[in-house]
Structure formats: structure tokens, C-alpha cells
Structure 1
Amino acid sequence: MTRRLAVIAAGALALALVPTAGATSLPDRTFRVSTAPDMSQLSGDSGDTSLSADGQIIGFASTASGFMPGDANGSVRDVFTFNVATGERRLISAAPGGANGPSSSPVLSADGARVAFVSSASNLVAGDHNGVADVFLTGPDGTVSRVSVAADGGDANGPSSNPDLSADGRFVVFESAASNLVAGDTNGAPDVFLRDLQTGTTSLVSAAPGGGPGNGASGAPSISAGGAFVSFASKASNLVAGDTNGVSDVFVRDLVLAKTSRVSVDSHGRQQNRAVADPFQQISGISRDGRFVVFDSDATNLVGADANQHTDVFLRDRRRHTTVLVSASSLNVQGNNDSFSPLISADGRIVAFQSLATNMAPGDGPREDVFVRDLEQRTTSVVGVADDGSPRAAELVPQLLQRPALSADGRIAAFSSTAPNLVAGDTNAREDVFLRLLDAPQTSLVGKRIGRRPTVELKADDPAATSFVCRLDNGPLFACGPGRTRLPAGHRVLRVRAGGPGMLYDPKTLVVRLSSEHRPPRVAIAGFGRGPLRTIRGIASDPSGVARVLVAVTYYHGHGCRALSGHRFVPVRCPVRLFQRASGRRFWSLRLPHAIRGPVVVYARAVDGAGNRSRVRLRKAIIR
């Protein structure tokens, strides 16, 4: 098959996707990919996104005929790729005169050169006479080959779907209802298969101990980047011992050891009490090394305190044998609606998923949205936002269900939307494909004031970073910043990460040490000396520094007391203390408006930089 492609300049897209040191160098974050070569809008719907490892090549399916020259089948759904760095556009589901059936579900190799996809077309390869959907692969030179073939190389006798591809493009896993792909497939149900394109062989992945097929339907596979592990969902009860819950589960097949383990269990190995409601399948994703598996489930017993009664996303650590909740906010609040269709970045750090929850992250648009969870930082951000970070407008369809795509490092996401406000000039009222750059902002401290109620002023290098997450000592997470934030008193260490809609949270924690010590300062009043009293002096000290000294002066004159108030003495009823601020701090003084004689009482109190106050000291004397 001849390769069909066109090369179009990518301009701003190519520049913007270069990794950056800080968010301030990102003038644009959201880009529409599904446009014509002249950047005009398409007249068809586009979706089914997939990304190369570096996020530079995006694959998607579209009913539009204007994405590139050579798309001869009109509004029939085709699979394309677009290289945002070079502008190269490829028609993946290419056939002479155009494919005669719809194509979908593209998945890319790490370099984006190989693309597996599903198609009902019968003219992509010679000899395709089965009349059902098959899985195909298009290579770097544009050659299309069929992956879902019978053991003898002929037609599969059932439809195939849901492909996934290893990083090097050698292994393709897929789901198929065909019974003639491998010998001994007699269960009459869909199974998961692996095609080794190097050896030209197909093997059964959803196999029971002994190598036979499972006794229930299996599907929705995901293969690790290295090609050694496959996760999948299955209703079979004979894939592992002790599977007695009577519901579908998520499994991992070690292709090297030919062993299957169940991952939809809690941290003690107990099986889940629910799967997901029919007709949906549990969706899973697996990290590059096979250690981490994400999946969705209606189960209420996989983690403690799962009380939301909704579909959630979970992560299974196969090395530590632990299961944790993923679909939670940055404040670790469980989602208040269904979360589903997860995938995990190759490095195992970022999980993307779709959710109907309204409490998952600030900046969430109406109804369903795409989110990313940083597993290391335990922070969650919404992906589908406008270029300036404002919330996505309502979708133009009742419910746009999708599985987003991620680059290997999780910093670039691809998704589809019918919202008209994600980029300027979106007026086609169609489902379009978008890229969002999720580069995290950098957090910085503008200033701090130490006292009984410490105050910090925080900022980020991206003005759209409006959602900061803070923690005092080892206390609970709370929302803070940007700007000034007052904190409780005490010995505190404040840890801060800046984030916001459409971006990851700062991976580097800003640590602010708040040295709010509580030892009171010391103050002393010097002797008055001889003669009329005009100036009062003293000393004060404190390790954190003396902020101010307050002095009160009262003396007996004639038939009553007089107290210093501002710049004069006023009659008062004894005993009264009217404190005035003295000059100086460590060595302080207070000059009286005039000299005084007679019985005098002087009071002094010091206040340190942390707001602590000393005990009131006094000195009495009779001035002659």
C-alpha cells in the first residue's frame, strides 16, 4: 500500500511543545489539532486520541475529509496522525480510492511511526472477506497489514477491537470474538490476543492455567511499553485461583513467565465486590515496567471509607501489593460522581481519567471532564480548559465519553471536546481534538511575617496558577494562595505547591519555615537618679528581636493621680496604666512632657518579633 501524507508547517505548535523550564515561557497551552492544512475548521467530528511517547505525534479518528489531501472517501471515518513538530499529516487508514468502511481506535508506537487501529473496511489489505471489523497496523512506510488474522493467515471469523501497541511497535494486543486465531479457542466468548509482528505469531493472553481459554469474556487490553505485561478485564473465573466474586475483574498477564495475576483486589488481596455495570467493561492501563496498574471499578471494598457509591479509579502497585484510590481531589476528597476510563503515563507517575464529579479540581467545566492525578504529589488537575485556564463551556452533546491520551512523562495530554471556547474561533459545532500542555508552574515566596498569626504571601510564575495546596507540619492539606495567607500560631513548617486548571502542580515543594517561638522577652527599668524625673530609660532583650517597648507612667499630684496620655498628663483614678510606645528597642527611653516630683510608678512591657509579650515590670519611687 502506498503511503499517503502531506507536509504542512506546524508553526506555533512545534515551538510550544518544546519542554520548558518554567510556565512563564508558555504563552499558549491549549491547541486544536483537528484543523485543515490552512488551519481552517473541519466539517466532521474528530476523536479517539493517542500520543507518541514525546507527545509530538498525535493520532485520532475523524469523519472530516478536509484534514489532508488524498482523503477520498468523504465522510467515512478515517485514522490520521499529525506531527506537531514538523507538520507532517498522515492518512493511516489508506486504501486506493479511500477506505470503504469506518476506522477508529488508533494507538501509536513510542516514536509514532507505527499505528494500530480498528477498521471495518475490506479494501485496506488484499483478501479481507470476513465482513467484520479487524485490527490493522500501518508502518513507517505507509504499508498497511492486518493483525487479527487466523492461525493459517486467513480471515478471522469474528470481529476484533481495542488494540494496544508496545513502545517499539513489535507487539499488538487486541480483543477478538474470533475463535480461529489460535488453536483450542472453544469458549465461545471474546478473548485477548497478542500478535508478535516480528515472528508473525498470535498467542492467547486471557489464558487459564494450562494455556486454555478463560470461561468468560475478556477484553479491553493494555500492554506495557516494554511489551512484557498486559492488563485486561475478564468475566472468567478460572484465570486465577480463588476467583469467587462472580463479577468481572482486572488481570495482568506476565508474557515472559506466562502467569496471570488479579489486580482488582484490595491491599490485603481480598477480591472486589463489584465491577462496572453492563454493558461497560472495566478499563485498565499499565506502566512501562508493569508495576502500576490503574483501573475503574464500582467496588466499595477496595480501599477504606469508600462511601461515594460511584465508579472510581484505583491504582494497584504490584510490587508492594497495595491498592489506593486515584479519583480524589488534591485535598484527598473522594469524587462525588463516576470516574472512569483511566490510563497511566509510561513512567507510572501521572494518571488521566474522565469524571462526572464536580469536586475533583478547581476550574472544572459542566458535566464530564478529563483530569490528571499526580500519584507522587497526590494532586489532581482538570485538563479540559481554555487556553487562558478558564473553565470549558458545556459540551454540545449530552455525554461525550472518552479516554484521553498522555505523553510518556504525563506533561502533554490529548482529548476531544465539542466545547466552543477552548480556543479562539471554534465555531464549527463539532467534536475536535485538542492538545493541552500541562507544564507545572514554579512556586515562590514573596514574603512572610512572623507573629502570633504568621502571614505568608505566595505566588507562581504563571498567572493562571490559582490553586495552591498547602500543608502545615504533618496536618491535613488545605487550599491556600496565591496572595496572602494567614496561618495558625505555633511552631510550623509550611509546605506549598502551586497549580491550577489545565496544569500539573509544582513537583518541587516550597518549604517555608515559620519560627514562631513563644519565649517572652525581658525588660528592665533603669534607676531614676536624683532630682526631678524627665526621662525614663531601660533595656529589653529577646533572641528573636524586640519589636517595641510600652511604658506607662503615673504620679500623685495634689489630691489625685495623673497618668501620661500622649504628650500630657491627665487626671485619673488610681491605679490606672496608660501604655505609651517608648523610643528604641533594646535600649529604650521615654521622655516626659515635663519634669515630675512626688510618688511615681513606672510600668514597662516588651513585645518581641513573634508577638510574645513580657510580664509587666514596675518601679516605684518618691521623686524629690
Structure 2
Amino acid sequence: MSRHTDRSTRRVRRALRAAVVMGAVITALPGVASAEPADGAGNSSVGVGVERVSVAADGTQLDRDSTGGAITTDGRRIVFSSSATNATPGNAAGSERVYLRDEPSGQLKSVGSYPVDSPVISGDGEYAAYWVLLFRDTKVKLAQWTAGSSIGLNCDALNCSQPSLSGDGRYVANVATIGRPSTSQRIDVWDWQANTKQELAWFAHTAPSRPSISGDGRFVAYQDGKTKDVFLWDGDHGSTSEPIEGPSKEATIVQISEDGSKVVYLSGSDTYVHDVSSGTARRIPDVKGLAIDPTGAHLLYAPNDTTGPSLVLRDLTSDTDQVVSDRPASAEVDAVSTGGHDVVFESTADDIVPGDTNGKSDVFLRRFS
């Protein structure tokens, strides 16, 4: 969408003006803006409701935009990015940074700088991945909660981007573009701990081709952006499927579920949830799928009809819907925790939680149970 393109362009321009800076700040978060009742200390109660998670270390609202948002399988940790000057001490320059937040403790860490696009998170919350622009090239960075800092992955191409993480963060799927100017690309999976790589596919073009990896690293769903086909690679068998959408339609990947059971893709005005074991797909008409929960049972989508809610969570087992946001909002992949209990999203609306007066984009967490 154009909004994401504009945002990425702004970040690229910022990255061109400065080198990548990495650091760690560990702070406690005493209070979070929430629509839930608060206790005497000003802390939000835990339960059904919505809260703003992109807040400063002292609990105040941020002075610049916060974007993205990805959540762990258990809903414990969230990653997002922000250019706020007051998020944590030492960020007076207001550079775009990657933040990891631990919900139970309220701890916030700055783990990296200058992301080109929204960061993603491992299922266990120990790692976040993002990509940066270094002069003319792009590189993938891996940020660790424990260390509170980022490392660069050993990418053997000029440009590596669009990372997707396994459940424990050990395996990273990404796109590597070849040549300058780039004329081709491939889909890779890195075992960064063993420093080994598998090349899954080569494309003689640079049309958008994004991967999504399952929690155990066995499956990688990816698209060929030129033919508009979605494929599924099975690492156990070293095999790649035929286009999972079949020969009669074009498709764009959304993501594979953490357990590897479902692949979500878009085709025309509809969303499809492909069952890996049966090879069949379920059509969800007239909606844009955005994310699926780790078990493949809950689909987060945006209705094509813009007169209603902006974000809806569907239980694919019971065919029931719950409204995530009835204000203008957007969400990234990895936005839903297991069982659909938590959904993280981004919005510029100022009436989702009380006291939202910064006039900026914020990241919110909706809890359903």
C-alpha cells in the first residue's frame, strides 16, 4: 500500500544520512495508556481491552510516530519501531529505532536502529529481525532480547532484506538480490548459529518476492513476484510445491502459520487459507488477510468494505468475528498470538485509549481474553 511505501521511503532517507547505530537501553515501564481500569498506582489491569504499548520508558506518550508491531506466540513480547526522541534515555536525535517490549514486566529495550520496514519477532520473543540500508546496500540485522543489541547476519549478497524468523530465531528466511544494479534474486534460509545457508529459489527478476518461515524452520512459503505464484518449500524432503493457488489465478503471499499448517495468500479481492496437509484452500471473500495466529485457526483481516471496522479477527473454526478496531488501523504479519488472544496493530486515531494527544501514529494491543 502507498502508506507503507511512503513510510519506507522516509526511513531510507534517514538511513542515508547516518550510519547504523546499535545500542541497548533497559528500562522499567511504570504505566501504560489503556482503556482498561487502572489500579491505585496507575497501572492498567490485565484482561480484555486495548492498551497503547508504544509509550516512553516513563509511561508518557511518544513524541513521534511508532509503527509496525509483531507479537510472540504467548503474547508476552512485542516488537515495533519508532523515531520518538523520548522513548528511552539517549535517543535525543530521534533516530528510527527498534524496540522490544516485555508485557508482564513492562520492560522496554532499544535493540537496533534505522529499520527500513517493520521488524518481525521470533515466536519465543528472544529475537527480532529487521533490515537496514547501508550506503547502497541492504543488510539483515538480528536483535536479541537478552543482549539488548543487534548483530548483522552473514549475507553473501549485496542486498538482503525482508527477513522472517523461526520460532526460536535460529533460522532466518530472507530475499537476496544479486548484482548492481540488481537483475536477479533468490530466497535463502540461514541457520545463523551454524553459519549455513540453503538456497530455495532463484528468480531472474527483482519483482517483490517475499518469504515466510514456519516456527520449526521446516516450511518456507514464498512468492514469485513476477509470475504471482505462491510456493511451499519443505525442508524435510528438500522439495518445493507447484503453485499452491493452482494454475488459474494469481496470488500474493501473506504468511505461513507458526505450526506450518496453513498458508494465507491473497488472490483478486479475496483471501485464501491453504491447508498444507490436505492441499485444499478455504476462500474468505471480499477481505484482505493480514496475519494468521500460530495455530492457523484465527485470521486477522481488513474488510474491503471501508464503511465498517478496519480490522477484524475471524475464528476459522466457529466462523465468528471479533472487531479488533473500528477506527482506521493497519497490522503486519505476526500480529496475532496463539488462540487469537492478543492482536497488535497501528493507528493514528486519537480516541482508541484515553489521553492520546500526541497526534502521532501509535502501536496498540487488543486483548480478547
Normalised to the residue count of structure 1, the TM-score between the two structures is 0.50
Residue of structure 2 in register with 1:409 after alignment: 339
Q: 372, 389, 395: which one pairs with 2:313?
A: 372
Q: In structure 2, what residue type is equivalent to 1:114?
A: Y
Q: Determine if the alignment matches structure 1 residue 292 to structure 2 residue 262.
A: yes
Question: Across the two proteins, how many residue pairs are aligned to each other?
Answer: 337
Q: The residue matched to 1:409 in structure 2 has which SS?
A: helix
Change in Cα spacing, 1:262 to 1:343, as seen in structure 2 (3 Å) is: farther
The answer to whether the Cα contact below 8 Å between 2:132 and 2:141 also exists between their aligned partners in 1 is yes
Residue of structure 2 in register with 1:75 after alignment: 94
Q: Distance in 2 between matches of 1:422 and 1:174?
A: 35
Normalised to the residue count of structure 2, the TM-score between the two structures is 0.83
Q: 213, 216, 225: which one pairs with 1:226?
A: 216
Change in Cα spacing, 1:340 to 1:132, as seen in structure 2 (3 Å) is: farther
Q: The residue matched to 2:217 in structure 1 has which SS?
A: coil
Change in Cα spacing, 1:322 to 1:84, as seen in structure 2 (3 Å) is: same
Residue of structure 2 in register with 1:578 after alignment: none
Q: CA deviation at 1:2?
A: 5.6
Q: 358, 361, 367: which one pairs with 1:431?
A: 361
Change in Cα spacing, 1:148 to 1:418, as seen in structure 2 (3 Å) is: farther
Q: Determine if the alignment matches structure 1 residue 132 to structure 2 residue 152.
A: no
Change in Cα spacing, 1:11 to 1:414, as seen in structure 2 (3 Å) is: closer
Q: Determine if the alignment matches structure 1 residue 422 to structure 2 residue 363.
A: no
Q: Determine if the alignment matches structure 1 residue 47 to structure 2 residue 63.
A: no
1:46-102 per-position Cα deviation (integer Å, ceiling 9, x unaligned): 111111121121100111121111325x23221101111101111111xxxxx4x44
- Backbone CA RMSD of aligned residues: 2.7
Q: Distance in 1 between matches of 2:136 and 2:204?
A: 27
Change in Cα spacing, 1:34 to 1:143, as seen in structure 2 (3 Å) is: closer
Residue of structure 1 in register with 2:120 after alignment: 107
Q: Distance in 2 between matches of 1:274 and 1:11?
A: 43
Q: Determine if the alignment matches structure 1 residue 144 to structure 2 residue 172.
A: no
Q: Matched residues, percent identical?
A: 30
1:363-406 per-position Cα deviation (integer Å, ceiling 9, x unaligned): x34xxx1221111111222211xxxxxx42xx4xxxx6542501
Residue of structure 2 in register with 1:249 after alignment: 229
Change in Cα spacing, 1:26 to 1:39, as seen in structure 2 (3 Å) is: closer
Q: Distance in 1 between matches of 2:143 and 2:314?
A: 32
Q: Distance in 2 between matches of 1:201 and 1:35?
A: 38
Q: In structure 1, what residue type is equivalent to 2:247?
A: Q
Q: Distance in 1 between matches of 2:56 and 2:297?
A: 34
Q: Distance in 1 between matches of 2:279 and 2:303?
A: 26
The answer to whether the Cα contact below 8 Å between 1:412 and 1:438 also exists between their aligned partners in 2 is yes
Change in Cα spacing, 1:258 to 1:215, as seen in structure 2 (3 Å) is: farther
Q: Determine if the alignment matches structure 1 residue 317 to structure 2 residue 279.
A: no
Q: 253, 272, 281: which one pairs with 2:248?
A: 272
Change in Cα spacing, 1:341 to 1:177, as seen in structure 2 (3 Å) is: farther
Where do residues 561-580 of structure 1 align in structure 2 (5 Å cutoff)? Answer: none
The answer to whether the Cα contact below 8 Å between 1:77 and 1:104 also exists between their aligned partners in 2 is no
The answer to whether the Cα contact below 8 Å between 2:189 and 2:198 also exists between their aligned partners in 1 is yes
The structure, 1 or 2, with the larger RCO (C-alpha pairs under 8 Å, 6+ apart) is 2
Q: Distance in 1 between matches of 2:243 and 2:290?
A: 15
1:132-180 per-position Cα deviation (integer Å, ceiling 9, x unaligned): 2211002221342212521xxxxx323x322110001100111232359
Residue of structure 2 in register with 1:200 after alignment: 195
1:464-499 per-position Cα deviation (integer Å, ceiling 9, x unaligned): xxxxxxxxxxxxxxxxxxxxxxxxxxxxxxxxxxxx
Q: Distance in 2 between matches of 1:255 and 1:438?
A: 35
1:563-609 per-position Cα deviation (integer Å, ceiling 9, x unaligned): xxxxxxxxxxxxxxxxxxxxxxxxxxxxxxxxxxxxxxxxxxxxxxx
Q: Which stretches in structure 1 are left out of the alignment for 5+ residues?
A: 17-24, 94-98, 123-129, 151-155, 181-186, 208-212, 237-246, 276-281, 299-310, 327-333, 385-390, 440-624
Q: Distance in 2 between matches of 1:353 and 1:283?
A: 14
Q: Distance in 2 between matches of 1:401 and 1:435?
A: 12
Q: The residue matched to 1:115 in structure 2 has which SS?
A: strand
